[in-house]
Structures are given as C-alpha cells and as structure tokens.
Structure 1
Amino acid sequence: MAYADDDESLLDAEEDESQPDRDQDLKPRFHTSRLHGSEYFDDDDDDSFNVWNLRKCSAAAIDVLSNVFGDEILPALMPLIQAKISTSGDETWKEREAAVLTLGAIAEGCFNGLYPHFALFLQIVAFLLPLLDDKFPLIRSISCWTLSRFGKYLIQETGNPKGYEQFEKVLMGLLRRLLDTNKRVQEAACSAFATVEEDAAEELVPHLGVILQHLMCAFGKYQRRNLRIVYDAIGTLADSVREELNKPAYLEILMPPLVAKWQQLSNSDKDLFPLLECFTSISQALGVGFAPFAQPVFQRCMDIIQLQQLAKVDPASAGAQYDREFIVCSLDLLSGLAEGLGSGIESLISQSNLRDVLLKCCMDETSDVRQSAFALMGDLARVFPAYLQPRLLEFLEIASQQLNANLIRENLSVANNACWAIGELAVKVRQEVSPIVTNVVSSLGLILQHGEVLPEPLGRFRLYQLWYLTTLSFENSAITLGRLAWIRPDLVAPHMEHFMKPWCLALSMVRDDIEKEEAFRGLCAVVKVNPSGGVSSLVFICKAIASWHVSKQKVNFEIRNEDVKNEVSQVLNGYKHMLGNSWAECWSALEPPVKERLSRYQV
C-alpha cells in the first residue's frame, strides 16, 4: 500500500497553492438532479475518473476484508500497522503513510473491535492528530482522511469529556489544514471536513463562527479545482446546521464573498455550477432569511435557463453553447428558493414567465432536465399552487405521461418526481385533478404491481442505486395513489382489487408522517366505497395499518390526526362486522405484534 516511486501522486503532492489550475486539472463533474425523498442518497460515483493502481486496490481490498471479517483481522493487522507507524526518519515516510491509510481503511469494518476499547480508540486519534502537521504533504493529507473516518465515532462520545475534547481537536486540526499551502492537503482537508460536517450536524453549532472564518478564508485563497470542494463544504455545512446559520454575524462572514463571486462569473461560465449548488443548500437552510438575496438569484436563474433554451436552437444568437447542466442547476436552485421561502416566493414569481419556462422544461427530451423540472413543479404546488393554475391541466397531463414511460433508471427518477408532484397538486387543487385520475391510478397500479422491492444489496454501488430508486418510486406511488383516492374515491375504488395488495405492502414501508396520513385517508375512503374490493387483501390492509409505530411515550399512535384514527378504526370494525365468523380466520393469519397494534383500535 506504500506509494510506488513512479506514482504520479508524488509529483502532484508538491503543487503549491500559488500555481494556477489548468483546465486539464479539473475533473469532469456531474450535477445530480433533484430527487424527491432522497435526503440520504448520494449519487456521486466518479470512480470512472479515478486512476486505480496497486496502492488504491490494496486499500480497497482491506476495506472490504474488514467489512466482511470485521474484528477477526485485527490480531494479524494491528502489529503490522504499529510496526510501520512507529518508524522514524525521512526515508520511511511512505511506510508511515501506508500505515495511516490502513487505519482509515479498517475504521468502519473493525469498529466493533476498536470502539469498545475507548482508551485505545482515543490513543489512535491522539497519535493521528500530530500527523496533521507532518513535514510530508501526503502524510498530512492521508491523516485528514483517516481522522474523518474515525470522526463519526468520536461524535458519538461527545457526552464524554475526553471524547468531546478529542472531537474538538480533530475539528480544529482539519480547519487548520484547510489553510495549508499545499493543494493536495487542501483538497484532503476540505473533503474530510465535509465528511465530519455530515456526521456532526448540530454538534458544529457552537463552532460555527470559527468554521465559517476558515471556510471563507479558504474560499479566498483556493485555486479553481479546490474551490469546488469549498463550495461543497459550505453547502454541506448549511445542510447540517440548517436554521442555525441564519444569524447576522454568520451571514456577514458567509455571504459577501459568495455574492462577489456570483457577480464575477458570466451566465455561461461552468464555474457557476458549484456556486448554484451551494446557493441551493444555503437558501434551504436560511429559509426566509435568504429573502434579501432572493430577487437577484431568482432572476439570474431565469436568465440562465432562457439563455440555454435559446442556445439549444440558435447558439449564435445566444452567444453560448448549449449545456443542459446550467438548466438543471438553475431549476434546482429555484426549488431551493421555493422550499426556503415558502409562500414568500409569490412576490418573486407572480409577475414572471416561470410557468411557461417550467412547462417547456417538463417536456424536455433529456431526463435530468425533466427530473428537476417536476421537482420544482411539486415544490411550487406545495407553496404557491395558484401560480400553476392557468396551465394546470397541461402540467398534470405531462406529469402523468412520465408514469407510462419505459422505467429504466433515468426514467424512474423522472417518474418518481412527476408522481410526487401530481400528489402535491392533488391535495391543493382537489377536484381539479379529476381528468387525469383514472389514467394515473392505472399507471401507479402497474408500478406497484411490478415494483417488487429487492432485498437491500450489499455489493455494487449501481445495484444499490437501482434498489434505492425502485424503493423510492414504490413509496411515492403509494402516497400519490392514496392522495388521489382520498380526493376521488369514486374513481379509484372500482379498480382497487388490481393493486390493493402491493399498495398496502408499499404503505407499510412508508415512514410515519403527514403524507402517510393522507394516503391512509385514501385507503379508508376507497374501502368505504367498495368494501368487497378489499376483502381478498384484508390481511395486507391490517398489516399496513399496524405499520404505524407507537410513540415513545407508548400512549398514542403516530397517526396524530384524530379523524384518520377514527376512519382506520371504522374500516377495521366495518370488516369485522361484514365478515362475521370469517373475521376469526383473518385474525388468526396475523402475527402477534400486528394483533397487538390493531387491538388499540378497539377491534
């Protein structure tokens, strides 16, 4: 795992921050279109642009071995690590670096063996901290990465004085390395800090001032390649601390440099991409606190989208080459504004032509543009549905068409967002969705019938992506079907026998929240209209109802709406009365935990 003498990284490691980046130094980047419900999903898989060598393959192999065999590898591995890491002298720096890399590689897989021995765990962290100041840049950089791998376990011990002390030292050590003069160390420190941000979340709040000062200092000194990572770290910070960022003192540090860069870049400059993404996270975190910056940001997004739509058909007139990523990033930032400002977005968009621009994006031939367009459609439906009203039926029809597409991976993401947007519009405009209900219900029924959810894969990343998207689409289909059933049970009930079983299975997987409550309103409504249509799936109806968890106080169910609770109780008792002696047969098919939960509905 030690660096080979001809490894290109040894040359790169000597790059000083004063050397400007060349265009060929910038890795290709791909923005991930906004996907509703994907708060915990990261689609950043850029392995195709990494150069794999024996060192990287060896580290990956140890990572896999540690995850498969866990603590069993420690007796054989730890003496080797200790021997390598204790070497001294400039000639053995590669061995020390490889030992630190190995510690990082086993941090997750061997957690159960290292973490219970907290004193040993603290010793490892204490040993790594001085390496952040090592004379060799590659030791400093790998120490940043390894400490970020151990960081999540330190965060779990912040209630322990020693654990919190070490967490603060790691935090400050990484911030110090953000301002390293070596580009490679800057990159490693900034990436490592972004990882710690995700894990630490609210634990960062007491340190927000010093964190922002370091990040914005790095923002002012980094070259183009590493500047992208700073944008990501700022966005991750906003995602992690949310409204805590909305303090005048913090905004005075954060916003002026970002606004200056925003004004400096042209509408066709690709360096605008990471800044658009960064502003998306900030606008969501600040909420109404972003209002002072909202108007110029909104107008800039509109200008960018319309410039690209012109460039698509007439590059000469646009003065720019078409690049759909400008449209996708701008649509996602507009979604961030809608989510952050809420109904306050009305003053921004009421006199704009966003409605027509958005409709055109919903009909774009590329899936990522449509995906982001339907996400924005859903966000607008939630906060300002009246704005979509003049072309409501067009939006609904185009969204419903996405559910009939060949649901390969790309189309599945589009269908997921379109499905969610239809559901959001339905609960706002109610009966006005009637023209598309029958077609949408038919499509959702097919998605549910054929959307068998795979067991969570343990292996390849792409397989995990497909599993995640399938599950997400399955759940959103169940929610939207429920919302349509709530609004027009008379149109949905005649078809319920065709999808009741997979619908109930999907509802059982949906997390307990207001969307699930609305879906259960629909379930109860169609059962009341057509009770015989649910008899063959009664066991699955019962299991779906039992999927609601009991609150921590063990007093109330997570169904917080009393009307929904009463409707569920009426459905269960209605079937008990309707089936008579046959009810006992259904009841006997249920597992004891399901019976216990259902008994709370006085069945």
Structure 2
Amino acid sequence: MAIEISSYEKLLTGWSAYCDVSMPPEGLREFLPRLIPTLLSNMVYTDDDESLADAEEDESFPDRDQDLKPRFHASRLHGSETGEDDDDDDAVNVWNLRKCSAAGLDVLSNVFGDSILPTLMPLIELNLARTDDDSWKERETAVLSLGAIAEGCITGLYPHLPQIVAFLIPLLDDKFPLIRSITCWTLSRYSKFIVQSLEHPNGREQFDKILMGLLRRILDTNKRVQEAACSAFATLEEEAAEELVPHLEVILQHLMCAYGKYQRRNLRILYDALGTLADAVGAELNQAKYLDVFMPPLITKWQQLSNSDKDLFPLLECFTSIAQALGPGFAQFAEPVFQRCIDLIQTQQLAKIDPNTAGALYDREFIVCSLDLLSGLAEGLGAGIESLVAQSNLRDLLLQCCMDEAADVRQSALALLGDLSRVCPIHLHPRLQEFLTVAAKQLNPQSVKDAVSVANNACWAIGELAIKIGKEIAPVVITVVSCLVTILKSPEGLNKSLLENSAITLGRLSWVCPDIVAPHMDHFMQAWCNALCMIRDDFEKEDAFHGLCAMVAANPSGAVGSLAYICQACASWTEIKSEGLHSEVSQILNGYKQLLGSGGWEQCMSTLEPAVVQRLARYGKVIVKNDLTPTSEKAHTDGQVVCATWASRMV
C-alpha cells in the first residue's frame, strides 16, 4: 500500500526529530538497511517537481518580486560569537519530499556516522555509474547524497575524498543544469578538505580546477546554477582566505562580469560573494589594479538606487566588508558613502514619525545597515573618519538610535558607539553622559534577558569609552559594575561573548577607576578570574589584567581570599607580550608571597593543579620556590617596594 506524500514527509520529519532530540539511536539502527535506500529513492526529482521547470529558466528572464526571498541583516556583534551559520541553501529547493529525505540522510549521518557508509556508498556508486541522459536524476541524487553526508561521515570518507572531489569536478560542466547546480553545493560542503589538501601532492592543481570551475559556473546562463555557484564560491572563500590572493585578478574579473548580467535575486548573492572575498583577503584588495575593476560598477549602482530601494541592503553590507578590508584605501570613496548613510538614517527616523513628510515608508533595516556600514568605515578609516563625523550630526542621530525600541537598531548603534569611541571620542563628549546612561541601561538583568546581543555591544562600548575618557566614566561605574557582576555570576551561563566582554569591561573600569571598584572586589573576584581564564591572549585581555593589577594594588587585603583564583587567571596566559604588564603581574604575585610567608604561599600553591603552578614560573622563580631568592635584582627591588606599600595597607 502506497503512503501519501504528505504522510511520508511527516514520517521522515519524525525520524529526523527522533535523532535530533538525542533519543537512543540503537532503536533505529536495525532499520537503516531499509531506511537509507528509501531515503535515496525519495531524493530523486519527481516529474511534477516545480524545480524542473524553474531550472530551465535562463538568465535573460527577469526576476519576479515573488522570486526574491525575504532577507535578514545580521546586526553587528562585537565578541567571540558571531551567530550561527545559515544552512538554508537552495540546492535542495523547497521543503518537500525530496528535501525532507535529504535532511533525514544528513541527520542520520551525524547520528550514526560512518556506520551508514556500507549501505549507502554502493547505492551512490550505482547511481553515479548510470551515465545515460535518462538517468540524470539518479546521478543528481548521488551527488546530493555526497553533500548531505559531508559532515557526519567525514572520517570514513576522508581517505577517498581526493577521488570523490576529482570525480565531482567534471560534473561542474555537465549538460544538465541541476547536476551543475548540485555539484557546486556538494563541493562547497568539502571546502575545508579542499583547502587543507593544498599541502598535499596535486592539492593545488585540484584547488585551481575547483576555483576556475566555480568561476565558470558563476557565469552560467542558468540562474539556478549561478546562484549555487556564487553561494559555493563564498563558502570556499571563507576557508581559503589568503590562498585566494594569487587569483584575485581573475576572481574579480569573473565576479564583475557576472555583476553586469545578473538579475536582482542573484545580484544579492553576488554582493555576498564580493563582501566575503574582501573579508578573506583584507588589505590585499587595496591595489589600484583591483579597485579599478570592482569599485566603479559598485559606485554606479550605489548612485542609481533610491533611498527607499531594498536592493540597497546587500550593497550596504558589501561596502561594509570592502571598507574594512581596504582600510585607509577606502578614503577616496568614503565621503559620499558616509553622507548617504546619514541621509538614510535621517529619512527613516522621520518616516517613523511621518511617512508623508519623509517620502518613504519606515523600514528599520535601512537604519541597521547604515549604522553597520558606518562602523565599517570607522574600523577601516580609523582616525581618518574624524573629519566626516565632525561635519555631520551623527552624534545626535546615534544617541536616538541607542534609545530605539527595536533591539537590532540598538545593537548596531551601540556597536558604532564603541567604534567611534576608539577613533574619535572627542565628538561624543558633548553628550557623553547620555551615551553612558543609555548604554548602562542595557546591562540591567531584564535588558540582558530580553536582548543579550544588545547587552553584549553595550558592555563592549562602555569598555571602549572607559579606555578613552578615563575618570569621566566615574558617574556610571558602580551601576555598570553591579550589572557586570550579576552577569559574571549568572548560574544560567550566558553566551560566551557577553561573559568575555563583561570580564574585559570590568577590568577596564578597574584600570581607570580602581579607587571606586577596588572596595567591592570581594563580591566578584572569583567569578571574574574564572571568566578571565577563558579569554584568548590579546590587547583586550591585557587591558583587563591592568585593571586586575590596579585593583589589587589599591586594596590588596580584599583579594587575599581569592588568591588561588588570581593565580589561575595569571596562569591562563600563553604569553604576556607587554613587558609592563608582565612586570605588574610578577610584582603582585611576589608581593603576596612575601606578605603570606612561605607557609601561607605554599598552602595556596597546594590547592592549584601542578600545570598551573608550573605556568606561574614564568613570573619569576620566587613564585614557585620555597626560598625568597628573586630572579633578578630588579625583581627583588620591585617586590620590596610593592610589599612595603601593601603591608601598610594591610595594617
């Protein structure tokens, strides 16, 4: 008895859910020899699949409005977490029996791993061996299957990947557009392996073939293939990064050739590929021979689009990546881009109040994209943006955006606040306390719960401001520290980025206002040190440790109870590159050892893991030895000075 498609889809979805909720997989294992062939057979295009008709549509057909999928701009986020990958590819088209089955195979491969290969691979090989035109759908399914299992079965596939990739490359030029399309997608799923193979014999030759094959397909006459190739190329760019530099000229030539022929939908994907290229190669793009290829067409399009045209969104995003990559090289294009962003924000803020006066309907995404592009300009131009900010009303517009009721607007506005704090804080001064108050408000527990990404950027911006304005931040320090402590001690385990930024900002506040923060350190020192241990070595961690040292120097007795945690934090460094900070940390640890005496210090050391004690040796032998023999005369002198100072405070 045949199962209706709608019922079968539900059944397949149920199997995926069975695996997704981490139920014991053994209950399903015995059915795999029957389930896997069924999934493959249902991944074959049916004769009435609308994708077959769509696939015949060539590049000359204008896109209809209904062809343009809704797009969502990811607001700027400062920190270690940048969001989840968008895995919603069009290679398997709409959610139907075919996609349901492919998704099911993907999930099964992640749950059962290589154990599905003995059943699956003979079926794939059988379909790939069918080379007659009537069997193209089965070949397409085989390629789709290889893509679906790319993550879950990578260990078992790995020894065979050179042969698999070599087999896929000619399919980029297959006569059937849906095979060309799915081959682009499947190759993108193996991008990491393709780039890693550059170190192996023939790896570079294979990489070059894939690169040129995808570039050819970017110029395909079929819109579906163009889309798949552009998306696949963007994925390869992310993995390849600097490996693309020798190929920049030919890449840009192909991308800009496509730029001249793409319809609206694929043009959006092309912008993403160009922006991803800028992210991947950075300043290497800042050469006249490259700028002359891609900037004139982009500027022309920029000038053609009206302030209410939503096709401006992906172009704004593309310019953001380009501005960051070119750095000062973007200065020649900056003024009109900067002013356009200001105009867009002003127009939308007016449209929010009175669409008729503004001459446009309100769409906050124009504001978000414009704020993010301004952040990109600040990051790229550095202090070079100062003259543009000085001649604009950006400060007042930005304050309004920081108070907007929409979380994504506040998120991007606070990111820009932090970026401007780094490069031209002088222009924030007239409304500095208002900015600080608004940013601090985003850190109260309810605000953090409602919009954690907004809180993340507010936290980062306050830290950046603190470094630049020093003690002028004093009026909000206690309020902010109170919120940061709540975050650091949160039992729920907030996201990594917010925890890291909270630890860094607490350190920066402690550095500039140690007299305000130090009396309260016993309330947060242990949680703070735990968070500091998780931060990678960089200048932000250095700032945080300057704050730690400043606080301990201001109130050494307040940290005695947390000394083991301080030691663990100090041991978390791979290397402190700043000689000044290294000296500060050494003085603190040596000072505590002399204050506690050998017995008290050894007791503290006994609570630490041996590896931690060993890493502390980098701060001087006096740290880990029973005697008080310093590593140098200077260290001894520094230690005596610190200890004398602390002893007076301890009394």
- The two structures share one fold, judged by TM-score above 0.5: yes
1:564 to 572, 581, 586: 581
For residue 134 of structure 1, report the CA deviation from its aligned partner. Answer: 1.2
Equivalent residue number for residue 225 of structure 1: 265
Q: 1:150 to 1:12 in 2, by over 3 A?
A: same
Of 73-82 and 381-390, deviating more is 73-82
Letter in 2 for 1:276: L
Cα distance in structure 2, aligned partners of 1:202 and 1:598 = 37
Cα distance in structure 2, aligned partners of 1:18 and 1:178 = 15
Cα distance in structure 2, aligned partners of 1:310 and 1:560 = 49
2:603 to 580, 585, 589: 585
1:75 to 113, 118, 133: 118
Equivalent residue number for residue 196 of structure 1: 236
Q: 1:408 to 1:138 in 2, by over 3 A?
A: farther
Please tell me whether Structure 1 or Structure 2 has the larger radius of gyration of its CA atoms. Answer: 2
1:325 to 365, 383, 397: 365
Letter in 1 for 2:372: D
For residue 600 of structure 1, report the CA deviation from its aligned partner. Answer: 1.9
1:85 to 105, 112, 128: 128
For residue 217 of structure 1, report the CA deviation from its aligned partner. Answer: 0.9
The answer to whether 1:277 aligns with 2:317 is yes
Equivalent residue number for residue 27 of structure 1: 69
Cα offsets for 1:201-257 (capped at 9, x unmatched):
001000000100111111111111111000000000000000000010111111011
Equivalent residue number for residue 448 of structure 1: 488
1:472 to 491, 497, 503: 497
For residue 39 of structure 1, report the CA deviation from its aligned partner. Answer: 6.8
Alignment of 1:179-578 (within 5 A): 179-404=219-444, 406-407=446-447, 411-450=451-490, 452-453=492-493, 470-549=495-574, 558-578=575-595
Cα distance in structure 2, aligned partners of 1:511 and 1:579 = 30
Cα distance in structure 2, aligned partners of 1:138 and 1:533 = 68
Equivalent residue number for residue 54 of structure 2: 12
1:275 alignment partner, SS class: helix
2:573 alignment partner, SS class: coil
For residue 407 of structure 1, report the CA deviation from its aligned partner. Answer: 4.1
Q: CA RMSD in A?
A: 1.7
Letter in 2 for 1:61: G
Cα offsets for 1:486-543 (capped at 9, x unmatched):
1111111111111111111111111100110110011111112222322232222111
1:450 alignment partner, SS class: coil
Cα distance in structure 2, aligned partners of 1:487 and 1:410 = 30
1:476 alignment partner, SS class: helix
Cα distance in structure 2, aligned partners of 1:148 and 1:412 = 32
For residue 448 of structure 1, report the CA deviation from its aligned partner. Answer: 0.7
For residue 394 of structure 1, report the CA deviation from its aligned partner. Answer: 1.1
1:600 to 609, 613, 618: 618
2:198 alignment partner, SS class: coil
Instruction: Show structure 2 runs of 5+ residues with no match.
Output: 1-42, 624-651
Cα offsets for 1:141-168 (capped at 9, x unmatched):
0000111112321211212340110010
Decide whether the 8 Å contact of 1:145 with 1:188 is kept in 2. Answer: yes
Equivalent residue number for residue 63 of structure 1: 106
1:365 alignment partner, SS class: coil
1:164 to 186, 198, 204: 204
Decide whether the 8 Å contact of 1:361 with 1:369 is kept in 2. Answer: yes
Q: 1:310 to 1:297 in 2, by over 3 A?
A: same
Equivalent residue number for residue 553 of structure 1: none
Q: 1:43 to 1:436 in 2, by over 3 A?
A: farther
2:202 alignment partner, SS class: helix
Cα distance in structure 2, aligned partners of 1:384 and 1:53 = 53
Letter in 1 for 2:54: D
2:384 alignment partner, SS class: helix
For residue 45 of structure 1, report the CA deviation from its aligned partner. Answer: 6.7
Cα offsets for 1:320-366 (capped at 9, x unmatched):
00000000000000000000000001121112111111111111111
Q: 1:13 to 1:22 in 2, by over 3 A?
A: same
1:21 alignment partner, SS class: coil
Cα distance in structure 1, aligned partners of 2:47 and 2:89 = 23
Letter in 2 for 1:572: L
Decide whether the 8 Å contact of 1:346 with 1:384 is kept in 2. Answer: yes
Cα distance in structure 2, aligned partners of 1:299 and 1:566 = 47
Letter in 2 for 1:592: P
Equivalent residue number for residue 103 of structure 1: 146
The answer to whether 1:94 aligns with 2:137 is yes
Decide whether the 8 Å contact of 1:496 with 1:534 is kept in 2. Answer: yes
Q: 1:368 to 1:444 in 2, by over 3 A?
A: same
Letter in 1 for 2:79: G
Decide whether the 8 Å contact of 1:288 with 1:340 is kept in 2. Answer: yes
Q: 1:409 to 1:247 in 2, by over 3 A?
A: farther
Cα offsets for 1:263-287 (capped at 9, x unmatched):
1000111110000000000000000
Cα distance in structure 2, aligned partners of 1:392 and 1:407 = 21
For residue 38 of structure 1, report the CA deviation from its aligned partner. Answer: 4.6
Decide whether the 8 Å contact of 1:151 with 1:167 is kept in 2. Answer: no
Letter in 2 for 1:598: L
Cα distance in structure 2, aligned partners of 1:535 and 1:566 = 20
Cα distance in structure 1, aligned partners of 2:93 and 2:438 = 39
For residue 477 of structure 1, report the CA deviation from its aligned partner. Answer: 0.3
Letter in 1 for 2:136: W
Cα distance in structure 2, aligned partners of 1:156 and 1:111 = 14
Decide whether the 8 Å contact of 2:418 with 2:464 is kept in 1. Answer: yes
Cα distance in structure 2, aligned partners of 1:38 and 1:80 = 42
Decide whether the 8 Å contact of 2:347 with 2:358 is kept in 1. Answer: yes
For residue 451 of structure 1, report the CA deviation from its aligned partner. Answer: 5.6
Number of equivalences: 577
Equivalent residue number for residue 460 of structure 1: none
1:406 alignment partner, SS class: helix
Q: 1:236 to 1:42 in 2, by over 3 A?
A: farther
For residue 582 of structure 1, report the CA deviation from its aligned partner. Answer: 2.6
Cα offsets for 1:402-427 (capped at 9, x unmatched):
11151456511111111111111111
Decide whether the 8 Å contact of 2:323 with 2:330 is kept in 1. Answer: yes
Cα distance in structure 2, aligned partners of 1:223 and 1:485 = 54
Q: 1:597 to 1:352 in 2, by over 3 A?
A: same
Cα offsets for 1:122-151 (capped at 9, x unmatched):
221121111111111111100001111123
Instruction: Show structure 1 runs of 5+ residues with no match.
Output: 454-466, 550-557
Cα distance in structure 2, aligned partners of 1:599 and 1:62 = 52
Cα distance in structure 1, aligned partners of 2:286 and 2:89 = 36
Cα offsets for 1:407-450 (capped at 9, x unmatched):
45651111111111111111111111111111111111111111
TM-score, scaled relative to structure 1: 0.93
For residue 567 of structure 1, report the CA deviation from its aligned partner. Answer: 1.3
Cα distance in structure 1, aligned partners of 2:276 and 2:106 = 25
